[in-house]
Structure 1
Amino acid sequence: MTGRIQDRLDIEKAMRHYAVGLDERRFEEWDLAFTSDGIIDFTPMGGKRETRDQMRDRLSRPDPAWLFAQHPLYNTIVTIDGDSATAFSHFQMETGRRGEKDGQIVRVSGGGSYEDTLARTPDGWRITERRVYLKWKQTYTVTDEVPRG
């Protein structure tokens, strides 16, 4: 039983490397979420299907309008079968970009689910494929209440 508990903790850690690496733009952490040939599939919500490296390269380009993102995970269910696993989790996303006027932020709030396939590798559990489903989304403009330097 102890090995399965550690596996679950390590699987959830890989899943969180995705969110923290993406939100904080720490792509060295992002890489810890996936196998080197890992896939992120946004086609269920009308987006792209990309490799880990393609998405990292696209998102790591300088973007002066980008301010923040957060993607908490919850309601996670993990099923382990030897050296492979599947996981389901809900997420909520909050992103912010500079608006057209000084002091404005264009906020995008949303939520959905991730369906992950994972593999045990010599470096630990890693996502081989993540499918992303968006359940709701709202875009709105707000006044920025955070002092930015």
Structure 2
Amino acid sequence: MKKKITIIPFEEHNACNLFSIRIDDDECEMMKFANKLIKDEKRDDLQKIAHQFAKIGEFGAEERFFRPAGKFKDNVWELPRHYIVKSNYRLYCLRYGTSVVILGNGGLKETRTYQEEPELHKFVILLQTIDEKIKQLIIKGKLSIANKQITGKLEFFI
């Protein structure tokens, strides 16, 4: 069964805007991640991530704020572990240049690679699929990413 994906605004900043994704009209993926941290009593980590979002928003989504997570050909990145205070949680996202980031979901990484964690692997595969669809929509002229904005077809199926 196909999933309905909706790209929604999350935070607006001077240099970079943050978006998230909603799957089938559910809560946005970034809020699901935040709720996991709250449930697991990792509020310090959540505050640290919020501070990192503010830095990304102020300076732009520069590579130094991220770590490649997917494959060379995709735009999947993660917030590096050193931005998380007390845990091994990972947050995955799509990074488009320095002005647009689409926040995904994540979770606790207790293995060497995300591929060994079924939940994390699922999140990365989902973002890779969304990234591929976004690239197709851009080529067809149905979606545009420029000037900190994503415009056009913000709802699609994968």
With normalisation by structure 2, the TM-score equals 0.28
Higher strand share: 1
Higher Cα radius of gyration = 1
Of structures 1 and 2, the one with the larger relative CO (CA 8 A, separation 6+) is 2
